[in-house]
């Protein structure tokens, strides 16, 4: 455990997991230094007309444990959210979201996050992927009080989410390359044994986006032992991601979870993963699978804004 509260940066690669390949060396390098695993999602079925934005919103609301308010937050409803703001839930944490997605900006604002666009980070910049990646990395770290390899006593935010993704299939590889470059810039500034490295809790979350029937068998997180037909099958304990408290979760999608790598120098454990790849995470990841709605609780603990979740 760190002797001072961390400051959190979360890169959320919306639908980018399927486009990963061997050329994305910065993502693979991060995974090789990190604690890796999966965030399980529920089966959610947004209205057909808004399916793409609905999926993005549903995934993000799971990350911030506000999915119960999906219908309110994803529409123009004036109904009050059942979920308290992030600041109210986590001891005054100051959180921001950087995104170009209009509906996601609206959701985040209702949940009490400050919402920023790329042109608010860099004057006269265009879209995120057309902005200089080194300048974006600098500005993101500045928001967290990291400047010129130093850690300032105060910061504008404790936690910053960055949404990187597109609904245009032809541009997915461009966004994946961008997040790979952004990871490289950030890790180059948060080197091990540096001031920033010791205080920055860095998470990269990649989701699968739209899924198909083939994905159910190719990217399953089911424990094969649990599905073995034998007299002893019922004796295998349920995995923790299928439970909420003492009650079984009734709506768990057992395939295409979010993939997550987390790193903070001398704070996070290192597992045996060598690449940012589904099978490597399955075989060698140290974080196994937790529900996506527990993710923010885990991060908030590192920021000294929440008690520890789980073991």
What are the pLDDT digits (tens) for 123-133? 767 788 889 99
Backbone Cα Rg of the chain: 19
Considering the chain, what percentage of its residues have pLDDT values greater than 90? Answer: 66
Q: How many domains does the chain have?
A: 1
Residue 228 has pLDDT above 60, yes or no: no
Asked if residue 1 is part of any domain, the answer here is no
Per-residue pLDDT at 28: 98
Confidence of residue 172 (pLDDT cuts 50, 70, 90): very high
Lookup result for tokens 């790193």: 263
Confidence of residue 261 (pLDDT cuts 50, 70, 90): very high
Residue 108 token pair: 């985040």
Asked if residue 2 is part of any domain, the answer here is no
Average confidence (pLDDT) over 88-107: 94
What's the CA gap between 75 and 182, in Å, rounded?
32
Residue 177 token pair: 């390359």
Give a three-class secondary structure readout of the chain: CCCCCCEEEEEEEECCHHHCCCCCHHHHHHHHHCEEEEEEECCCCCCHHHHHHHHHHHHHHHHCCCHHHHHHHCCCCCCCCCCCCHHHHCCCCCEEEECCCHHHHHHHHHCCCEEECHHHHCCCCCCHHHCCHHHHHHHHHHHCCEECCEECCCCCCCEEEEEEECCCHHHHHHHHHHHHHHHHHHHHHCCCCCHHHHHEEEEEEECCCCCCHHHHHHCECCCCCCCCCCCCHHHCCCCHHHEECCEECCCCEEEEEEEEEEECCCCCCCCCCCCCCHHHHHHHCCCCEEEHHHHHHHHHHHCCCCCCCCC
Asked if residue 292 is part of any domain, the answer here is yes
Asked if residue 308 is part of any domain, the answer here is no
Average confidence (pLDDT) over 225-230: 51
Residue bearing the bigger pLDDT, 287 or 273: 273
Asked if residue 166 is part of any domain, the answer here is yes
Confidence of residue 2 (pLDDT cuts 50, 70, 90): low
Per-residue pLDDT at 233: 53
163 CB neighbour count, 10 Å cutoff: 21
Asked if residue 309 is part of any domain, the answer here is no
Residue 230 has pLDDT above 90, yes or no: no
Asked if residue 307 is part of any domain, the answer here is no
Residue 87 has pLDDT above 70, yes or no: yes
From 10, 37, 4, 36, select the one nearest 201 (Cα to Cα). Answer: 10
User: C-alpha distances in angstroms, 22 versus 29, 94, 122, 177, 232?
Assistant: 11, 36, 31, 11, 41
Asked if residue 179 is part of any domain, the answer here is yes
- Residue 230: CATH number of its domain: 3.40.720.10
Query: The domain containing residue 65 runs over which residues?
Result: 7-302
Confidence of residue 80 (pLDDT cuts 50, 70, 90): confident
Q: What is the mean pLDDT of the chain?
A: 89
């Amino acid at each position: 455990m760190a002797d001072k509260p961390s400051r959190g940066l979360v890169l959320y690669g919306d639908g980018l997991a399927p486009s990963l390949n061997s050329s994305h060396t910065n993502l693979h390098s991060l995974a090789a230094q990190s604690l890796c695993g999966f965030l399980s999602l529920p089966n959610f079925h947004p209205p057909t007309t808004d399916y793409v934005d609905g999926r993005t919103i549903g995934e993000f609301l799971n990350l911030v444990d506000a999915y119960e308010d999906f219908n309110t937050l994803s529409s123009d409803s004036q109904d009050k959210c059942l979920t308290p703001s992030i600041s109210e839930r986590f001891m005054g944490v100051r959180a921001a979201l950087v995104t170009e997605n209009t509906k996601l900006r609206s959701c985040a604002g209702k949940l009490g996050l400050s919402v920023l666009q790329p042109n608010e980070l860099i004057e006269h910049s265009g879209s995120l992927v057309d902005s200089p990646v080194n300048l974006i990395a600098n500005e993101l770290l500045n928001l967290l009080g990291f400047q010129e390899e130093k850690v300032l006593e105060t910061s504008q935010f404790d936690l910053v989410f960055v949404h990187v993704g597109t609904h245009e299939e032809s541009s997915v590889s461009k966004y994946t390359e961008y997040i790979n470059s952004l990871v490289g810039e950030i890790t180059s500034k948060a080197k091990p044994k540096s001031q920033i490295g010791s205080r920055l809790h860095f998470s990269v979350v990649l989701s699968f986006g739209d899924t198909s029937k083939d994905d159910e068998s190719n990217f399953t997180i089911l424990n094969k032992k649990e599905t073995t037909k034998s007299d002893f099958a019922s004796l295998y304990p349920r995995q923790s991601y299928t439970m909420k408290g003492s009650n079984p979760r009734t709506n768990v999608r057992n395939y295409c979870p979010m993939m997550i790598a987390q790193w903070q120098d001398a704070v996070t454990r290192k597992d045996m993963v060598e690449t940012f790849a589904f099978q490597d995470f399955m075989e060698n990841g140290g974080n196994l699978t937790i529900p996506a709605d527990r993710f923010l609780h885990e991060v908030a603990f590192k920021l000294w804004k929440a008690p520890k979740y789980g073991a």
